Structure 1
Amino acid sequence: MSTPALTLYLALARLGGPLAPRLLARRAAKGKEEPARMREKLGEAALARPAGPLAWFHAASVGESLSVLGLIEEMRAARPDVSVLVTTGTLTSAKLMATRLPAGCRHQFAPLDLGRAPRRFVEHWRPDLCVWVESEIWPALVEAAGRSGAPMALVNARMSEASARGWARAPGMIAHLLRRFSAVLAQDADGAARLRRLGAEGARASGSLKAGAAPPDRPNLRKAALAALRGRPVWLAASTHEGEEMEVAEAQRVAAARVPGLVCLLVPRHPERGEAIARELWSRSLRVARRGRGQAIGPQDEIHVADTLGEMGAWLRLAPVAFIGGSLVDRGGHNPHEPTALGAAILHGPHVGNFRADYAALAAAGGARQVADGVALGEAVADLLSDPAARERMVDAARAALGDGRGATEATLEALLPLLPQRVEAPSPWALAPRPPDADPDAEAAPGAAR
């Protein structure tokens, strides 16, 4: 049964339908949508539905979609008869999915939660299993999927204190939506407890899928970068946001005073900011190269702005020390599992609410170091680069604290497989056709056949 808040939301979503094309056109003009695929966000599929069972995974953006690739591969190994659809909402994630999806999988943009888009999407794809990843709960889409009768699961769920407070303003609505899910698996015990309080009675912790989702290597890029570095020491500033790059510049100045020849690899969270970042760094009289312009690391360069997609795995494999962005400014921090998996010592700021449990575990184990500003970051970078033994101890502690993610993948797969339709085995070519009730078995036997 719907609730007043949900009824109001769905009514407003329907009324907003005519605004959707205009909204998408405006975003496309700003380079935030792919014009050729905008109809997908209106629920109009660009691909035909494959025959047979279909599992649909919905992930918001890059991190969420990458985190489920291993799970999808395991599901396909267990059930090769099941096709997989992955939906995301961002251009960046779509570009990555185009190169990363396993065989038997396809990508579409998720429909907007407006007008008939959710229903149109569900009616076309007719999923046999709907899997939401992390915290991407859109009421109209959840309702459309729920009314289709397909079982639904919420996996790798993340429910921060702030999000829980927000949803608690409409308690009946969130409880109704969460009860649509046959399985709710949270990244940690705190998140599971918050989800249970909001109405997901069976929510339980299964671990983070991101722990096992190390980004892929780019061997040719890494070899070229190593050749360009010529043995110079290097550190990484990963997934930085506006307001952090100047702190990174200060950190580079401080660290380079103690570590001669030091280079910073700066990977912005949003690559389209690369030009603006480079200009700001140049204004500080820093020697900067931009990968987005095809520039290699020069012998005098101090900062290399890696404003390109899908290359984080190569940069993490090059850098023994990594600062995780979104943490010196209040963006909640980013995933610490990737640097841990690839052996980089982790530095971060105080704002890590998106991964609070992970960073708490790292702090308790001595597996990461918190810094307050660019000066402190630079001192920490120099400390770790100057003391390989301390750096290795930090990495080992981080790996022990966060694990490798295999348990989370196994637990999630164990919850999802029973929700899929039962496999229909093809009849054996040796199977006998049904015999009429009064038939003489001897008369049907082929001449010379054993009886």
Structure 2
Amino acid sequence: MNPASWRFRSARLAYNLLIHALIPIALLHFLWRSGREPGYRRHLDERLGAGPNPDPGPDLWIHAASLGEMRVAGILLDALCRKHPSLRIQLTTLTPAGRAEAERMRAAGLPVAVRYLPLDSPALLRHFIRRLKPGILVLIETELWPNLLWRIHRAGIPAVLVNGRLSPRLRNTYRRLQALYAPLLATLEWAAAQTPEDAEHLHSIGARKVAVTGNLKFDLPSGRNESALARAHFSGRWLWVAGSTHPGEEEQLLDVHRRLRDAHPEIRIQLLLAPRHPSRAPEILDQVGRAGLSAVLRSRLSASGSSEDVIVLDTLGELAGLYALADAAFVGGSLVDHGGQNPLEPIAADCPVIVGPDSRNFADMVRRLVADGAIVQIADAEGLRDVLEDLLLTPGHGAAMVHQAQRTIAANRGATARTLELLRPLLRSPGSAGQ
């Protein structure tokens, strides 16, 4: 199958008819989301390819959908800019959380410009790409937008996929739409997959040159501290963090915390609860009250700290640093049908980690960590309570988990170096595109 085939042309026509019908709905969705997350209202013009003109001729254009993908981009950028300090880089994203992380990277001194990716309309992307004129497009993990791939190909700009992974849901989607995706994936210079299984699936749906480079997230720096809070802000003797939680989990976690606290009144135990979407913090405060516990929002925490049972995180960018203050961490999205969140962030903070039964989004990583004894996977909330109690009463078990986790991470590092080696032949002389 090739881009000239009638099947591809028909599939692209159908997709474009659908995407143009969905653009007004997408804009209304952003406005609706802005009621809880004001960031969705800001820079709305960029979603339509408008806003300030981008600086033309960046050496790299890196697109990362949201916070997790942008952190992967940050790992790559840190290494890339050490080797090539004069690079110019355009970052695009889809969410306010991704944009906030990109802005943090810029504030930290990385040579990046930041904006939202235009919606996947052929006209919007054609106009944006003509203005931007990047040297290379780097897509992070799963960002395979059909018109983005098509317009970048038509512009003669090489595109690559970094840290590629395909969840079971995405595999099924791409296979159903193979008439559209196979010719587009074939236009990639190469795709770097996290695992041999990901590589096999990428190849089966159309990617021609696929390499297994490993998971860039294993190269996350250890011990990062991005929070202004210190352990002294928490009056409890024992602190556990429930990070990146989703609806349906908080009630279970609060019940676990209440039972743990009541069983050990001699040990002052506190919970820092960090919803995946901080805009849900007021809703979670209500849940805490109904559970018979006291709570405070992190944004309202006094300088002297907190004695409440639960601190609800309602800020962005602090969770990684707060893991470093905790005695144990539960990684959310895994007690409900969501697929789980990335367990490596609390591991990098030297924190014992527990995940729930649904870890399909990071299945290979979790299997490896569980097999090594680096993390614990529980079957349900009752299992979570048992593991937390064990870590509470036997601190040596947590220390052993942390030690083994660091050994597992060390054994799986190197994806960054392998990815940079693939990128090296594509890197032009910095700044040449604008000449």
TM-score, structure 2 length as denominator? 0.90
Q: Report the counterpart of residue 16 of structure 2 in structure 1.
A: 10
Match of 1:389 among 382, 387, 396: 396
Change (3 A) 1:16 1:160: closer
Asked if 1:247 corresponds to 2:255, the answer is no
Q: Which runs of 5+ in 1 are unaligned?
A: 426-451
Aligned residues: 421
Tell me if structure 2 keeps the 8 A contact 1:320–1:344.
Answer: yes
Once the two structures are superposed, residues 268-299 of structure 1 have per-residue CA deviations (whole angstroms, 9 ceiling, x without a partner) of 11000000001111011111111133457866
Match of 1:201 among 208, 232, 241: 208
Asked if 1:358 corresponds to 2:365, the answer is yes
Using the alignment, how far apart are the partners of 2:58 and 2:227 within structure 1?
36
Partner of 2:428, secondary structure, is coil
Asked if 1:68 corresponds to 2:76, the answer is no
Tell me if structure 2 keeps the 8 A contact 1:217–1:313.
Answer: yes
Tell me if structure 1 keeps the 8 A contact 2:354–2:377.
Answer: yes
Asked if 1:40 corresponds to 2:41, the answer is no
Change (3 A) 1:420 1:230: same
Once the two structures are superposed, residues 206-232 of structure 1 have per-residue CA deviations (whole angstroms, 9 ceiling, x without a partner) of 11111223584136322xxx2233461
Once the two structures are superposed, residues 370-408 of structure 1 have per-residue CA deviations (whole angstroms, 9 ceiling, x without a partner) of 223322212211101221222122222222333376401
Tell me if structure 1 keeps the 8 A contact 2:64–2:91.
Answer: yes
Match of 2:142 among 128, 135, 149: 135
Once the two structures are superposed, residues 288-313 of structure 1 have per-residue CA deviations (whole angstroms, 9 ceiling, x without a partner) of 11113345786642111112111012
1:5-404 matches, within 5 Å, as 5-14=11-20, 24-28=30-34, 31=37, 33-50=39-56, 53-101=58-106, 102-114=109-121, 116-214=123-221, 216-218=224-226, 220-222=228-230, 226-230=231-235, 232-256=237-261, 257-258=263-264, 260-295=267-302, 300-403=307-410
Amino acid at match of 1:162: R
Asked if 1:416 corresponds to 2:423, the answer is yes
Using the alignment, how far apart are the partners of 2:32 and 2:431 within structure 1?
47
Change (3 A) 1:278 1:15: closer
Tell me if structure 1 keeps the 8 A contact 2:161–2:188.
Answer: yes
Q: Which is further off, 171-180 or 276-285?
A: 171-180
Once the two structures are superposed, residues 128-157 of structure 1 have per-residue CA deviations (whole angstroms, 9 ceiling, x without a partner) of 100000101110111111111111110011
Change (3 A) 1:420 1:397: same
Using the alignment, how far apart are the partners of 2:272 and 2:240 within structure 1?
6
Q: Which runs of 5+ in 2 are unaligned?
A: none
Amino acid at match of 1:98: E
Using the alignment, how far apart are the partners of 2:325 and 2:36 within structure 1?
34
Amino acid at match of 2:254: A
TM-score, structure 1 length as denominator? 0.87
Using the alignment, how far apart are the partners of 1:362 and 1:406 within structure 2?
14
Using the alignment, how far apart are the partners of 2:277 and 2:26 within structure 1?
24
Larger Cα-atom Rg: 1
Q: RMSD in angstroms over aligned alpha carbons?
A: 2.4
Once the two structures are superposed, residues 344-392 of structure 1 have per-residue CA deviations (whole angstroms, 9 ceiling, x without a partner) of 1111111111100000101211122122332221221110122122212
